[in-house]
Amino acid sequence: MKQLQQWVMQVRYPYAAGIIAVMWIGTAIFAYLKPDVPLEFLVGSLAVSTIIIAITGLSEAR
Structural domain of 35: 13-59
For residue 1, tell me if it sits in a domain: no
Angle, alpha carbons 17-32-26 (nearest 5°): 20
For residue 49, tell me if it sits in a domain: yes
**What pLDDT, in 10s, does the model give residues 13-31?**
667 778 888 999 999 999 9
Strand partners, 58: 11
Instruction: Answer yes or no: is pLDDT of 61 > 60.
Output: no
Domain count, the chain: 1
